Amino acid sequence: MEVTVIGTGRMGSALVKRLASQGFTVYAWNRTREKLRDLPAKPIEDVSQARGLVFIFVADDEALNAVRGVGGDVVSLAGTYSVGAVAAFSIRLSSMGIGFLASPVVGGPGDVERGTAIYIVGGPESTYQRVKDVFERLGTIIRLPTAESAMALKLAYNALLIGSMALLGEYVILSRTYGVDDETSKELLRRTVFKDVAEKYLDRILNPRGPPSFTLTLAAKDVHYAVKSAGDARTPLVVSSAVKSLYELLSTLGFGNEDYVRAGLLELVGGLREK
């Protein structure tokens, strides 16, 4: 089956590589054309030339809104967008007779490339059946009946993860403030329900290595969409609203390209406290 990826940033380019490794013929489009150069995909000049199953992996609602006149048989929104933007995109597509799904991803670019990512696939079963063979080669699938519910679950998960990272940073700050060394803070977590979280994220927070796979700006966007999507349904998210303010503030202050897991940490927020 032919597959197209629209938006070949960190996630889209990883998906192109995964699809190519599974033997699919892959087409790709990106606003910045140089990013297509080394990918195992045939570049297309315009999104109207998209074919087969089309994954859209652009950054945010604004970018999604800029993707107009897309071609293909079934379009699946793989990036993280607000529930309202998913609904609006679905209405645009319905007039063109193209099948529509949302397939937001839990996991980073490495997971996508290795096939260990989780795809929350929402939309009608008849549409899913047309492209199931592709999804089954990508990773773990969680199925939901609508695109909106799939995106809502992804936003709920991200708000939980991102808020947890902010609290993990503050856990380190409070411990250090009263002279507890990082090793002891880690040891306590390792003996509790937070064991896996500590093992996966604490070292990444304390000793950053290499460029981040998910930036603070994108995390701010996700929590914003979680709060907005809940608010649109008259369900205020009080704690997520505080997390959103923290991430948006840090993004505005120029930390947008930092690893999102570091938002709660000393040198970022601690610097503000001293002022």
Q: Under the rule (CB under 6 A), what is the footprint of ligand NAP?
A: 7-12, 30-32, 35, 57-60, 62-63, 66, 79-80, 105, 108-109, 213-214, 218, 222
Shortest distance in whole angstroms from residue 32 CB to ligand NAP? 3
Report the residue number, 37 or 273, with the smaller CB distance to ligand NAP: 37
CB 39 within 8 A of CB 13: yes
Residue recorded with tokens 């306590």: 188
Closest residue to ligand NAP, based on beta-carbon distance: 9
- Given the complex with ligand NAP, which of 198 and 221 has the nearer CB atom? 221
CB of 50 to ligand NAP, least distance (A): 13
Least spacing, CB of residue 59 vs ligand NAP, in Å = 4
The nearest distance, CB 67 to ligand NAP, in angstroms, is 7
Amino acid found at 40: P
Closest to ligand NAP by CB, 222 vs 248, is 222
